[in-house]
Amino acid sequence: MKTGQEYRDSLRERKMKVYLKGELLDPVTLIDHPFIKGHVNSAAMTYDLAFDPQYEDLMTTTSSLTNQKINRFTCLHTGTDDLTKKVKMQRMISRKTGTCYQRCVGFDAANATFSVTYEMDQALGTDYHKRFVEFMKKWQDEDWMVAGAMTDPKGDRSKKPHEQEDPDLFVHVALKDDEGIYLRGAKMHMTGMVNSHYMMIMPTSGYGPEDADYAVCCALPTDAPGVTHIFGRQTNDNRKQYDGAVDQGNAEYGVVGGESLTVFEDVFVPWEHVFMCGEYQYSGMLVERFATFHRQNYGGCKGGVSDITIGAAAVIADMSGYAKAAHIKDKINEMIHLTETLWACSVACSAEGKALPAGNYYPDPLLANVGKHNVTKLIYDIDRLAQDVAGGIVATLPSEADLRSPEIGKFVEKYLKGVAGVDTEDRMRMLRLCEVMTGGVALVESMHGAGSPQAQKVMYSKLSNLETKKKDAMRIAGVDPEKYGK
């Protein structure tokens, strides 16, 4: 297992092509860039905590492939205990970072790919599972951080991949030879991509035979020749570059996961790292498996992030002198209630998990999708209440530069004072934290991370056994269900 520092050092060995605001970054020092270093620090936490005896049970486990001790972020789930410890680990880390730590997407891609390749091989006589197992052993041994890459640009959403005017709007196999495949296209919104060692390419939806070239799953280094990363902007990101720690809110760990647009220009992938190539019948299964594993997470990670939001709002109330007001207590209690509701779904879908044919365990898909759909709504309610408690000053607060100014700092210090004994700077820090936790990219990620709300609705509608519910209702009412057929 790597330590956090070993993780950072390993990133400097890559030869990545990363652009940020139009500038090509030095691959050795890009992890020190003000826009990127917080994401690196947050991911490094997942490495360091594995060596902390207090968290060893959550952060580590024994590999089902090698029987060696490994970081949990590289494991294959061997039971409901693993699934439950996963979400407990996520909530714990979120409480320590207040943000995304980026390793979950690759983690979920591993478990989805392990299970689907097994079923492909059983049905089709391929050897994808064997290939993936060998890659997974290296992943565990090297303690890689692997980015999951599923979402394609999609172009005209009314058209299938083969119908697009530009075929590169979905990642596809442009060429195959005896050595491997060549990829063209792009993936979007890739969390943690620029501070990962490898990436897992997956199809973005289920495909038919006409789109077989788009049904591809494979692994490649993030610095593979022909790969270009374009780092995405985030709300208030210039504060990281030009302003002090106060204005950043969460200066150490940043906000969400540092997403990027990743472009592939005839990128070579050797056959040993190819785990699906044209088997369109299994593309939908891989998407659904991955989505369920990933949606399982959200009550854990967003539960932990919401814990920080609740804490920030409560401290601001203390510092401002209105914490004892009945309506403030009621709002904070409601935030707690909503957060634990998110958490309950993650625990429930984990506890109700079942073994897949490959042997790894899968969370209950109905509960996982319901839990993620709750996140698309309840996080907005939690953050609305936090902003309500904090007050309008969250949006109008002067800058840290004003606080430090020899001319006007005294006015900021005087007029932003709260209760006696509370430093103005400390109050400003809490207000900025509340701003960061409740606005911009953090909210958008709650809505669209792991799929849009409509994606979850489709899944829980399909999984809800509505016809059984109708028959049960008719039976209880004394109506013969058979009389009305299906």
Which active-site residues does the annotation give? 100, 104, 191, 259, 294, 298, 301, 445
Structure tokens at 172: 């596809």
What's the distance, CA 301 to chain centroid?
8
Percent of the chain that is helix, strand, coil (3-state, to 5): 55, 15, 30
C-alpha torsion sign, points 429, 434, 436, 440: negative
| Residues 6 or more apart whose Cβ sits within 8 Å of residue 45 | 4, 93, 96, 97, 101, 253
C-alpha torsion sign, points 297, 301, 303, 304: positive
Residue with tokens 């410890």: 85
Positions of E strands within 222-294 = 227-231, 260-270, 274-277
User: Taking Cα atoms as reference points, which of 24, 22, 69 lies closest to residue 50?
Assistant: 69
64 within 8 A of 110, measured Cβ to Cβ: no
- Compute the distance between CA of residue 260 and CA of residue 20 in angstroms, rounded to an integer: 9
| Residues 6 or more apart whose Cβ sits within 8 Å of residue 326 | none
User: Taking Cα atoms as reference points, which of 103, 107, 68, 105 lies closest to residue 360?
Assistant: 107
Q: In what order do the strands lie in the sheet with 180-187?
A: 23-24, 18-20, 227-231, 260-270, 180-187, 172-176
SS3 for 348-401 is HHHHCCEECCCCCEECCHHHHHHHHHHHHHHHHHHHHHHHHHHCCHHHHCCCHH
Neighbours of 52 (CB within 10 A): 10
- Compute the distance between CA of residue 395 and CA of residue 14 in angstroms, rounded to an integer: 40
Residue with tokens 């007050």: 391
| Residues 6 or more apart whose Cβ sits within 8 Å of residue 375 | 298, 299, 302, 342, 446
Distances (CA, A) of 94 to 260, 305, 410: 21, 5, 36
Residue 201: its H or E element? strand 198-201
